[in-house]
Structure 1
Amino acid sequence: MDRRGTSVARTKAADAGAARPEGASPARARGRALPSSAAPEAHGLASKPLYRQVREALIRRMVDGVWAPGAPLPSEMQLAAELRVSQGTVRKALDEMAAENLVVRRQGRGTFVARHDEDRILFQFFKLVSDDGVRRFPESRVLSIAKGKASEDEAQALALVRGARVIRIRRMRALDGVPILVEDLALPETLFPGLVEAGVPNNVYGVYAARYGVTVARAREKLKAVAAPAEDAAVLGVPAGTPALLIDRLAFSLEEQPVEWRVSLCLTGTMHYLSDLT
Structure 2
Amino acid sequence: MIKHARFNKRQQAVEELVHRIESGLLADGHLLPGEKQLAEELRVSTGTLREALAELERRKYIAMQTEGSAIVTYDGMTLDQNNGWTQALADTGARIHTELLQLQAVERPQLSLKFGLSQFITLVRRRSHDDGSAISLERSLMPATGGLESLPRTGLIDESLTITLAAYGFVAQNGDQWISAEPLNQEDAFLLGRAPGSVFIKALRTTYDRHGRFMEQVESWLDPQRFRMYQSLGTPK
Q: TM-score range by the shorter chain?
A: 0.5 to 0.7
Distance 2:127 2:221 in 1: 10
Amino acid at match of 1:140: T
Q: Equivalent residue for 1:152?
A: 110
Distance 1:128 1:174 in 2: 17
Contact 2:182 2:201 in 1 (8 A): yes
Superposition deviation, residue 208 in structure 1 = 1.1
Q: Secondary structure at the match of 1:269?
A: coil
Distance 1:104 1:183 in 2: 31
Distance 2:59 2:210 in 1: 12
- When the two structures are superposed, what TM-score results if normalisation uses the length of structure 1? 0.54
Q: Secondary structure at the match of 1:75?
A: helix
Q: Equivalent residue for 2:74?
A: 130
Q: Equivalent residue for 2:192?
A: 236
Distance 1:268 1:230 in 2: 18
Deviations 1:56-106 (A, max 9, x none): xx9xxxxxxxxxxxxxx933269xxxxxxx98453x11434677xxx2327
Distance 1:272 1:220 in 2: 18
Distance verdict in 2 for CA 1:96–1:179, change over 3 Å: same
5 Å-filtered alignment, 1:12-31, equals none
Q: Equivalent residue for 1:252?
A: 208
Among 154, 162, 166, the residue aligned to 2:120: 166
Identical aligned residues as a percent: 17
Distance verdict in 2 for CA 1:155–1:248, change over 3 Å: farther
Distance 2:10 2:220 in 1: 44
Root-mean-square deviation (CA), in Å? 3.5
> How many residues are matched?
180
Distance 2:97 2:44 in 1: 42
Superposition deviation, residue 247 in structure 1 = 0.5
Deviations 1:140-182 (A, max 9, x none): 21111111233223541xx224xx1111111112343532111
Q: Equivalent residue for 1:7?
A: none
Amino acid at match of 2:210: L
Q: Secondary structure at the match of 1:195?
A: helix
Distance verdict in 2 for CA 1:153–1:126, change over 3 Å: same
Q: Equivalent residue for 1:207?
A: 164
Distance verdict in 2 for CA 1:88–1:178, change over 3 Å: farther
Q: Equivalent residue for 2:98?
A: 140
Q: Equivalent residue for 1:269?
A: 225
Gaps of 5+ in 2: 12-39, 80-87, 90-95
1:93 aligns with 2:44: no
Q: Equivalent residue for 1:104?
A: 55
Q: Equivalent residue for 1:184?
A: 139
Deviations 1:192-212 (A, max 9, x none): 131111113542111111x21
Among 218, 222, 243, the residue aligned to 2:174: 218
Distance verdict in 2 for CA 1:275–1:77, change over 3 Å: closer
Superposition deviation, residue 228 in structure 1 = 0.8
Distance 1:187 1:226 in 2: 24
Contact 1:144 1:171 in 2 (8 A): yes
Distance 1:255 1:98 in 2: 22
Contact 1:205 1:216 in 2 (8 A): no
After TM superposition, where is structure 1 displaced by more than 3 Å over at least 4 residues in a row? 86-90, 94-99, 125-128, 131-136, 175-178, 275-278
Superposition deviation, residue 242 in structure 1 = 0.4
Q: Secondary structure at the match of 2:7?
A: coil
Deviations 1:89-131 (A, max 9, x none): 53x11434677xxx2327xxxxx699xxxx99xxxx9954234
Amino acid at match of 1:240: P
